[in-house]
Amino acid sequence: MKVYQTSEIKNIALVGGAKSGKTTLAEAMSFEGGLITRRGSVDEKNSISDYRDIEIDRKNSVVSSILYAEHSGKKINIIDVPGFSDFQGELVAALNAVETAVVVINSQIGIEVGTEIAFKHTDKLQMPILFAMNQLDTEKANFEEQIAEMKDFFGEKITIIQYPINAGVGFDSFIDLVTQKLYKYPKGGGVPEISEIPVSEQSKADELHLKLVENAASGADDLMEKYFEEGKLTIDEVRRGIKLGLASRSVFPVLCSSAKENMGVGRMLEFIANNVPSPNEALATKTLINGNKVSYNPTSPTTLFVFKTSNEQHLGEIAYIKILAGEVTEGMDVVNTKSQSKERISQIFANYGKNRTKLDKAVAGDIISTIKLKDAKTNTTLTSSKNTSDTVTPILFPEPIYTTAIRAITNTDDEKVGALINEFCQHDRSMRVEISRELKQTIIKGMGELHINTLKWYFDNQHKIGIELYAPKIPYRETITKNAEASYRHKKQSGGAGQFGEVYMLIQPYLEGMSNQTKYPIRGTETHELPWGGKLVFNNCIVGGAIDARFLPAILKGLMEKMEEGPLTGSYARDIVVNVFDGKMHPVDSNELAFKLAGRAAFKEAFKNAGPKILEPIYDLEVEVPSEMMGGVMTDLQGRRAILMGMDSEGRNQIIKAQVPLAEMYRYSTSLSSLTSGRGWYSMKYKEYQQVPTDVQNVLLKTYEEATKDEE
């Protein structure tokens, strides 16, 4: 394989809805680009892109696949991205490795939730996009209807490059408005017959061509000036305008295809080769943390960025790399800018699905893979430069929204399950795992139930280890609403030295900004910022030496232990002022343990008499849904004790803003998907703790009491 120079490289990601045909299009591109000699398919379970067992089983993409095609003297790197919103981490990683997104549209359905999500991410990155109107050979294909919807959603930047003349069953022809020719394909696809536009289509073609020229002219000032003066542009000027407009996001070209029948794919590759910006031509490129833009200069010191890793069967861990500067050769040494450790690039490959082409060298702008790196995870920068501060700005992965607890069905598998989950999260940065000391659970967070169930599939089918997913506990907090006093005498005598300690205390609610005052004189104060939020103020109000000062730390330790396991539900307690004002000692039997236990018991007794309340975490929630689906979504939120805070709009969608208790949000992504046919999306952000309603508190107290009895 030849060494392609930076200007000869085009990097694209195929993005869009889950059933738009991205994998089929990637297969056809690989075939047209000479990479494979026979096209596979998702249905026949032999596509080069969806090659993993889980993808063959489910017949949809779960992990992004990297492929390439050679066309028109260019190397086109292709990333086939899963379409379900649950796999947004794959989408974000792919978009950070390419210069252009090809948004694949199912011409039967139009804009889907996957389309909207992909567009939002490209907009955030200011990335060029073009649209591939796919599946034009299907019965319900409707080009005009989908174009109208796209213009309504994306605006007048939508620029028709090609339009079909017989969309639906039997589709085989389209008009190309750039070349102003008719492309007619033989049955089964392949090389089209190119001819003049039929008289019957000339009027429509002229009208659409005029709109194309107008949009192309907006790509450059000199083209706009000429168009205003002469009312027309040459074909070369139109092509230049499209290329410039695509790069600046002022033009969103629309091309036609039936990937399944291999119609329009070769022309699409030609368009990509001629119009998509090479890495060194892109206006929006990755930056370094020092603020400089990536140069893609092949003569600079080598800079590599790991945008994705995966564990491949029979191969081990593979790192997918974008070359941001310089060149890579087999056996070269580079430095990890984070750990300062040395890595050797033992081999370099150009990937096409599970297959690889071995390379001797690759240059800036290319996408490659390598194996056997020691410590190069996603977001790692590798460089040959002595200035290892040139670290690439890391990819910002989406925050998980779906939370569940996980455990091994067999206790002996706990350690193995934990190791496998950690490995999975290393490769998929939109999934997080934490072992919650507070909840005594292992918590998994992902982008939705489908995302989490993917993990379970691997355990069930690949690792053959039984796991259970279940509702996580809610991190409630306990506090008090009024003052209360209590005392406790701990006395124990069982031969030899005994134990004796008596503690009197007054507890009060702590409020931010309050003055530290009590009816007892304060001799010393300790304020503790609690790790779980809130404060504990510990006041020494002892007079006359009723308790020796050396026992006060033990009392504090005892009540802190009880705050870690609150008296009401076993949750953390917070925002309390404790005043120890009296007590008794024994000259022989008093010790630290006795006063720790006495302080703990006195605190527990006072807490129950101080108007105890349970607090629950409240989250700010934003739900984005199509306008016509708002009613059902709002009704559902009201049933979840949500408080509506306002509304906003974005395009054709409405954004509902609310505050909602975390306890009501388990499996919400599944419910929202059901209510909106997959068109809804939401995000959550922690806001504060608030008191739970009385009826909810009563249920929590009863549940905890019953659970405690069972344990006993």
Two tokens at 577?
């002022």
Strand partners, 691: 615
> What is the per-residue pLDDT for 708?
74
Q: What pTM value is reported for the model?
A: 0.88
- Beta strands 572-573 and 477-479, pairing class: parallel
pLDDT of 266-285, one tens digit each?
Answer: 999 999 999 999 999 998 77
Sequence length of the chain is 712
Q: Write out residues in the chain with pLDDT < 70, as ranges.
A: 388, 494-496, 710-712
Closest CA to 363 of 373, 350, 381, 376: 350
Chain centroid to CA 55: 20
CA atoms of 642 and 645, how far apart (whole Å): 9
- CB half-sphere exposure, 275, CA atoms < 13 A: 33
Token pair belonging to 183: 């492309």
Identify the pLDDT of residue 710.
56
| Alpha-carbon gap, residue 339 to 360, rounded angstroms | 27
CA distance 349 to 1: 11
Report the alpha-carbon distance of residue 691 to residue 7 in Å, rounded.
Answer: 61
Q: Which CATH architecture has domain 478-611?
A: 2-Layer Sandwich (3.30)
CATH 3.30.70.870 assigned to domain 403-470? The reply is yes
DSSP annotation of 463 reads I
Q: How far is CA 668 from CA 32, 447, 571, 586, in A?
A: 43, 11, 24, 58
Instruction: Output the CA angle 38-40-41, nearest 5 degrees.
Output: 155
One-letter identity of residue 69: A
Domain 303-383 has CATH 2.40.30.10: yes
- Amino acid identity for residue 2 in this structure: K
Are residues 238 and 216 in contact, defined by beta-carbon separation less than 8 angstroms?
A: yes
Residues 6+ apart with CB under 8 A from 559: 536, 538, 578, 599, 600, 602, 603
Give the integer Cα–Cα distance in Å for 107 and 99. 25
Give the span between the Cα atoms of 562 and 558, in whole angstroms.
Answer: 7
Cα 285 from Cα 296, distance rounded (Å): 9
- The β-bridge relationship of strands 441-446 and 467-470 is unpaired
Give the pairing of strands 355-359 and 441-446: unpaired
Measured CA distances, 98 to 10, 127, 326, 451 (Å): 8, 9, 17, 24
What pLDDT, on the 0 to 100 scale, is given for residue 291?
75
The pair of structure tokens assigned to 136 is 């034009």
For the chain, the structural domain boundaries read 6-198+250-275, 303-383, 403-470, 478-611, 615-696
pLDDT of residue 712: 45
- From CA 398, how far away is CA 335, in angstroms rounded? 28
The dihedral formed by the CA atoms of 137, 140, 143 and 149, expressed in degrees to the nearest 10: -140
SS3 of residue 630 by DSSP:
helix
Q: What does CATH list as the number for 6-198+250-275?
A: 3.40.50.300
**What secondary structure letter does DSSP report for 364?**
T
CB 104 within 8 A of CB 16: yes
CATH of domain 615-696: 3.30.70.240
Identify whether the C-beta of residue 456 lies closer than 8 Å to the C-beta of residue 469: yes
Spatial CA neighbour of 214 closest among 258, 177, 176: 177
Phi and psi at residue 59, in whole multiples of 5°?
A: 60, 35
Q: What is the DSSP string of 32-47?
A: HTTS-SS---TTTT--
Q: Is the dihedral of CA 109, 114, 120, 121 positive or negative?
A: negative
CA atoms within 13 A on the CB side of 522: 15
Instruction: List b or e across 569-596, with b for residues whose CB sees 16 or more CB atoms inside 10 angstroms.
Output: bbbbbbbbbbbbbbbebeeebbbeebbb
Confidence at residue 662, expressed as pLDDT on a 0 to 100 scale: 96
Return the structure tokens found at 562.
């009880």
> ∠ CA(204), CA(208), CA(214), 5° rounding?
150
Asked if the domains at 403-470 and 615-696 fall in one CATH topology, the answer is: yes
